Amino acid sequence: MSTKRTAAIKEAGNGIKANTYCGSGIDQPGFELLKISNQIGYGVVTKIMFKAGDFLLEYAGDRISKRDALQREKRYKKEGLGCYIFYDIEGVRKKFCIDATSDNQLCRYVNDSPEEHANVKMVRECINNKIYLVLKAKTDLPIGTELRTWNKGLVDGRFSRQK
């Protein structure tokens, strides 16, 4: 089979997974939430191998306006809560934010890393005319690999993450 055809099949397979899991409220199998250390806290580790380019997880949460996001961020800070909000995501018709602060899906637990050490990346994905933030593998990920992303410049907007 040609390399181009193999790549096209692989890409189509990843699209099917993203279609299956984005918006479903569940994560695809193959990940585990583990305490990495007292300093870092929790992180997401692979339980199966993934290839570079594979769809991994959706950054799920409440889709809200920037105004609501700014209000929530202030409230979370006042209440001493963590804050996991992506700002200014280019939607189909307008910008929006995703607040994953109270979401139970795993993507919000993926830790930051300097860009040169990141093994996953956050990208915008349009599925059925709706924009999602999805995590994709930058490199092959063997079993037991902690997912690490570089959050600056990965999507259109800024990421607020307070612990």
- Residues 67 and 71: their CA atoms lie apart, in Å, by 6
DSSP 146: B
Question: Between residues 127 and 11, which one has the greater pLDDT?
Answer: 127
Domains delineated in the chain: 18-159 (2.170.270.10)
For residue 143, pLDDT over 50 is answered with yes
Nearest of 102, 157, 117, 104 to residue 133 by alpha carbon: 157
Q: What is the pLDDT of residues 70-82, one digit of tens each?
A: 999 999 999 998 8
Nearest of 123, 142, 138 to residue 58 by alpha carbon: 123
Provide, rounded to the nearest whole percent, the portion of the chain with pLDDT above 90: 63
Classify burial at 32, counting beta carbons within 10 Å of its beta carbon; exposed 0-12, middle 13-18, buried 19 or more. exposed
- Residues 54 and 147: their CA atoms lie apart, in Å, by 13
Whether 104 contacts 39, CB under 8 Å? no
Nearest of 62, 108, 120, 110 to residue 89 by alpha carbon: 62
**For position 82, what pLDDT does the model report?**
86
Q: How confident is the model at residue 134 (pLDDT cuts 50, 70, 90)?
A: very high
Residues 6+ apart with CB under 8 A from 92: 126, 129, 130, 131
For residue 15, pLDDT over 80 is answered with no
For residue 160, pLDDT over 70 is answered with no
Residues 6+ apart with CB under 8 A from 43: 33, 34, 35, 36, 109, 110, 111, 146, 147
Q: Please state, rounded to an integer, the average pLDDT across all residues of the chain.
A: 85
